[in-house]
């Protein structure tokens, strides 16, 4: 009995149960692993992937999904960044016109247009205000005020004609083209004639003074800060715009100082024709006997467009530099020019016609008529620019008309479409409520 009592069969049953349970769990886990790692023979894509297990296929699918959405995110970011770069860097730096291979960007044009338009707007507002004052004084019997009112009214009418979108955009692009020509000429003068840079390039103090004047000229209800902020430009941009006008003034001062009396003059003959072909025919005939006065007289009377010289054998008389067609003057006053020289090819002049020219005489020191001298001095830079544009080595592209009037390039302030009446109403500045450009309150 005692031996039977010592047997512990329940303990053995519990042990077997535990062992069986453990074995069953182990078998279950191994079976699951075999299912995940089994090759089911189904392709993943386009017949490929039969050799992969189910787990490998799931991993590839997850990676594909993550990669797809990652590519979409990258594409969206790229489009956004490219759009920002395009709007703020690429488009603004596109050339609106080129001058001898140098481009004038849209950004430069936009900033110059804003500045020049604001200068003209400020001038108009000042003139209109002065007109109102003069009219009030004239109404009280002030004769001087009446005269002054007539002068100011004429100025207003002229400036109003200039304050039109088509007029001002053309004026600005012309100024920028001419500034490029001037900058290129300045480098030539500095290199060849040893003209100091300070003679032709605006100083900081001169730009400071012009900037101060510009700031003070704003009408009372407008501000320089608003002008900068609403047009998206900086003070450095305004200074660059000021420099464009000052460079022209400096070259004018330099060139006018070179025009003196007495000075070198040349005696020329000219036959002017409509086309290069016609000019070449005349040139070919004259080259057979270039000094034959009778031949010159016959051809000039027959073919020349110049009413002043066609009946005198093409004789232009004595010519002073910067007094006639500058394309002709540039040829005639070239450093190596000598008596008897004749154009070897038809010369395109500033008016677009073609000329055959011969140098008959040279006087190194000949007096200049005072009236002619003063006119030459006053128009020196304009004359020089006309000659530079006509030069065969000058290449100026046609300005992009779409860019000229693109909304992004037009100023917000002032409004180029603002109404500007010639007569000032009592008690306010005309043009818009509260004197704001374009009727802004």
Q: How does pLDDT run across 217-235, given as a tens digit for each residue? A: 999 889 999 999 999 999 9
> pLDDT band at residue 8, thresholds of 50, 70 and 90?
low
pLDDT of residue 265: 97
Distance in angstroms (rounded) separating the CA atoms of residues 119 and 226: 15
Distance in angstroms (rounded) separating the CA atoms of residues 299 and 303: 6
Are 282 and 299 in contact by the 8 Å Cβ rule? The answer is yes
pLDDT of residue 88: 57
Count CB atoms within 10 A of the CB of residue 96: 24
pLDDT of residue 417 exceeding 70, the answer is yes
Q: Which residue has the tokens 């004259």?
A: 286
164-208 per-position pLDDT tens digit: 999 999 999 999 999 999 999 999 999 988 999 999 999 999 999
pLDDT of residue 151 exceeding 70, the answer is yes
Distance in angstroms (rounded) separating the CA atoms of residues 95 and 105: 4
pLDDT of residue 405 exceeding 80, the answer is yes
Distance in angstroms (rounded) separating the CA atoms of residues 128 and 156: 7
**Per-residue pLDDT averaged across 116-141, rounded?**
94
pTM: 0.75
> pLDDT band at residue 420, thresholds of 50, 70 and 90?
confident
Domains in the chain with CATH codes: 264-367 (3.10.50.40)
Distance in angstroms (rounded) separating the CA atoms of residues 165 and 172: 11
pLDDT of residue 35: 56
pLDDT of residue 441: 28
Alpha-helical regions (H) of 193-310: 197-200, 204-216, 224-231, 235-258, 276-287, 293-303
> pLDDT band at residue 376, thresholds of 50, 70 and 90?
very high
**Per-residue pLDDT averaged across 415-439, rounded?**
51
Half-sphere exposure of 194 (CA within 13 A, CB side): 0
């Amino acid at each position: 009995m005692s031996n039977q009592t010592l047997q512990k069969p329940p303990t053995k049953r519990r042990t077997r149960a535990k062992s069986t349970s453990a074995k069953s769990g182990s078998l279950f886990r191994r079976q699951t692993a075999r299912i995940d790692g089994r090759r089911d023979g189904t392709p993943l894509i386009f017949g490929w992937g039969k050799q992969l297990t189910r787990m490998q296929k799931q991993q590839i699918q997850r990676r594909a999904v993550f990669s797809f959405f990652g590519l979409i995110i990258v594409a969206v970011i790229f489009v956004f960044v490219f759009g920002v770069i395009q709007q703020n860097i690429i488009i603004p730096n596109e050339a609106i016109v080129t001058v001898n291979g140098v481009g004038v960007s849209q950004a430069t044009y936009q900033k110059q247009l804003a500045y020049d338009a604001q200068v003209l707007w400020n001038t108009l507002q000042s003139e209109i205000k002065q007109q109102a004052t003069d009219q009030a004084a004239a109404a009280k019997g002030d004769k001087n005020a009446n005269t002054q009112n007539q002068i100011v009214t004429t100025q207003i009418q002229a400036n109003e004609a200039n304050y039109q979108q088509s007029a001002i955009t053309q004026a600005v692009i012309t100024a920028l083209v001419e500034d490029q020509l001037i900058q290129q000429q300045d480098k030539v003068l500095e290199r060849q004639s040893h003209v100091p840079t300070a003679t032709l390039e605006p100083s900081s103090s001169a730009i400071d003074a012009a900037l101060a004047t510009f700031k003070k000229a704003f009408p009372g209800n407008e501000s320089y800060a608003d002008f900068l902020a609403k047009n998206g430009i900086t003070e450095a941009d305004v200074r660059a715009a000021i420099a464009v006008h000052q460079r022209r003034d400096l070259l004018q001062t330099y060139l006018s100082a070179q025009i003196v009396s007495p000075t070198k003059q040349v005696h020329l003959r000219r036959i002017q024709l409509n086309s290069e072909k016609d000019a070449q025919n005349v040139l070919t005939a004259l080259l057979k006997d270039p000094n034959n006065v009778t031949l010159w007289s016959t051809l000039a009377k027959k073919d020349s467009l110049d009413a002043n010289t066609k009946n005198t054998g093409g004789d232009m008389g004595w010519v002073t530099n910067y007094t006639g067609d500058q394309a002709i003057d540039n040829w005639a006053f070239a450093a190596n020019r000598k008596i008897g020289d004749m154009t070897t090819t038809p010369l395109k002049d500033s008016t677009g016609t073609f000329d055959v020219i011969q140098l008959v005489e040279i006087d190194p020191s000949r007096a200049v008529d005072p009236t002619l001298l003063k006119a030459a001095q006053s128009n020196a830079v304009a004359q020089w620019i006309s000659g530079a544009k006509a030069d065969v080595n000058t290449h100026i592209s046609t300005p992009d008309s779409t860019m000229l009037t693109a909304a992004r390039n037009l100023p917000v302030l002032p409004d180029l479409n603002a109404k500007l009446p010639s007569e000032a109403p009592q008690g306010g500045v005309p043009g818009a409520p509260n004197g704001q450009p374009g009727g802004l309150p």
